[in-house]
Structure 1
Amino acid sequence: MKRDRKNSANKADRIKGSPRRQGRREFLLKTGGLLAAGAFGAVPLRGWAADPVNIGALYPTTGSMAQIGVGCVAAAKLAVEMVNDAGGIKSLGGAKLNLIISDVQSDTTVTRTETDRLITGNKLSAIHGCFASALTLIASEVAERAKVPLITGSSSDQLNKGRTYTFTPFARASQFARAQLQMSKLVSDTPKVAVIFENTAFGTSTSNGLKELAPSEGVEIVMFEPYSAGFTDASPLINKVKSSGANALFSVSYLNDLILIVRTVKQVGLNIAINGGSGGFVIPDFYKNVGKLAEGLQGVAHWNHDMDANCEKVNTEYKKRTGEFLFEYAGGLVAQTFMIADALERAASTDPQKVREALSTLDVSSGYAAMAPGGKVKFGPDGKNVFGRPVGVQWQDGDLASVFPKEDARKPLMKT
Structure 2
Amino acid sequence: MLNKIHKLASNTQLGFAAMLMFGIATMMPAHADIKIGFQAPLTGPSATDGKSAQIAATMAVEDINAAGGVLGQKIELVTYDDQAKSDQAIFTANKLIGEDGVKLVVNGSYSASGRAAAPVFQKAGVVMISAYGVHPDITRAGDYMFRLVHLGPPQGAATALYIGKTLGIKKVSTITMDNDYGQATMDGFLEASGKYGIEVLNKYSYSLKDRQFGSIVASVKRDNPDAVYATGYFFTAGPLVAQLRAAGITVPIIGSQAFDSEKFVEIAGPAAEGTYIMDSFDRDRKDETLQKFFAEFKNRAGYSPEGVAAVTYSAVKLLVDGIKRANSADPEKVRDALAATKDFPMLEGNLNGFNSLHEIEMPISVNVIKDGKFASAGVINDLAAFAPPEK
TM superposition score normalised by structure 2: 0.84
1:378 aligns with 2:357: no
Matched residue pairs, number? Answer: 354
1:149 aligns with 2:105: no
Report the equivalent of 1:174: 153
Partner deviation per Cα, 1:109-157 (whole Å, 9 max, x = no partner): 2121112112211122311113311111111121111110110122223
Aligned partner of residue 215 in structure 2, secondary structure: helix
> Conserved in 2, the CA contact under 8 Å of 1:305 and 1:325?
no
Give, in angstroms, the shift of residue 85 of structure 1: 0.8
Q: Distance in 2 between matches of 1:149 and 1:188?
A: 40
Which amino acid in 1 is paired with 2:154?
Answer: Q
Cα distance change on mapping 1:75 and 1:190 into 2, 3 Å:
closer
Is the deviation greater in 399-408 or in 283-292? 399-408
Return the index of the structure with the highest Cα Rg: 2
Aligned partner of residue 366 in structure 2, secondary structure: strand
Aligned partner of residue 189 in structure 2, secondary structure: helix
Report the equivalent of 1:362: 341
Q: 1:79 aligns with which of 57, 60, 70?
A: 60
Partner deviation per Cα, 1:178-212 (whole Å, 9 max, x = no partner): 33223325785342111110111111111111110
Q: Distance in 2 between matches of 1:166 and 1:364?
A: 19
Q: 1:88 aligns with which of 48, 69, 90?
A: 69
Report the equivalent of 2:9: none
Partner deviation per Cα, 1:318-342 (whole Å, 9 max, x = no partner): 1222232221111011111111111
Q: Distance in 2 between matches of 1:146 and 1:303?
A: 33
Report the equivalent of 1:345: 324
Which amino acid in 2 is paired with 1:231?
Answer: D
Q: Distance in 2 between matches of 1:304 and 1:123?
A: 37
Is the deviation greater in 136-145 or in 346-355? 346-355
Which amino acid in 1 is paired with 2:230?
Answer: S
RMSD: 2.2
Q: Distance in 1 between matches of 2:211 and 2:144?
A: 38
Equivalence map 1:289-368=2 (5 Å): 289-301=267-279, 303-309=281-287, 310-366=289-345
- Gaps spanning 5+ residues in structure 1: where? 1-45, 409-416
Report the equivalent of 2:208: 229
Q: 2:378 aligns with which of 404, 409, 416?
A: 404
Q: Distance in 1 between matches of 2:200 and 2:121?
A: 38
Q: Distance in 2 between matches of 1:130 and 1:271?
A: 35
Give, in angstroms, the shift of residue 407 of structure 1: 7.1
Report the equivalent of 1:213: 192
Aligned partner of residue 140 in structure 1, secondary structure: helix
Q: Distance in 2 between matches of 1:378 and 1:180?
A: 22
> Conserved in 1, the CA contact under 8 Å of 2:84 and 2:112?
no
Cα distance change on mapping 1:151 and 1:77 into 2, 3 Å:
same
Q: Distance in 2 between matches of 1:302 and 1:171?
A: 11
Give, in angstroms, the shift of residue 302 of structure 1: 5.5
Give, in angstroms, the shift of residue 308 of structure 1: 4.4
Report the equivalent of 1:18: none
Q: Distance in 2 between matches of 1:194 and 1:104?
A: 34
Aligned partner of residue 225 in structure 2, secondary structure: coil
Cα distance change on mapping 1:316 and 1:254 into 2, 3 Å:
same
Equivalence map 1:271-286=2 (5 Å): 271-279=250-258, 281-286=259-264
Which amino acid in 2 is paired with 1:235?
Answer: G
Q: 2:106 aligns with which of 110, 113, 128?
A: 128
**Structure 1 stretches of at least 4 aligned residues deviating more than 4 Å after TM superposition:** 185-188
> Conserved in 2, the CA contact under 8 Å of 1:175 and 1:390?
no
TM superposition score normalised by structure 1: 0.80
Q: Distance in 2 between matches of 1:259 and 1:395?
A: 13
> Conserved in 1, the CA contact under 8 Å of 2:229 and 2:255?
yes
Identity of aligned residues (%): 24
1:189 aligns with 2:168: yes
Aligned partner of residue 210 in structure 2, secondary structure: coil
Report the equivalent of 1:23: none
Which amino acid in 2 is paired with 1:397?
Answer: D
Q: 2:249 aligns with which of 270, 277, 287?
A: 270
> Conserved in 2, the CA contact under 8 Å of 1:171 and 1:302?
no
- Gaps spanning 5+ residues in structure 2: where? 1-26, 383-391
Cα distance change on mapping 1:382 and 1:189 into 2, 3 Å:
closer
Q: 2:86 aligns with which of 97, 101, 108?
A: 108
Q: 1:57 aligns with which of 24, 38, 48?
A: 38
Report the equivalent of 1:4: none
Cα distance change on mapping 1:242 and 1:125 into 2, 3 Å:
same
Cα distance change on mapping 1:297 and 1:232 into 2, 3 Å:
closer
Which amino acid in 2 is paired with 1:123?
Answer: G
Aligned partner of residue 226 in structure 1, secondary structure: strand
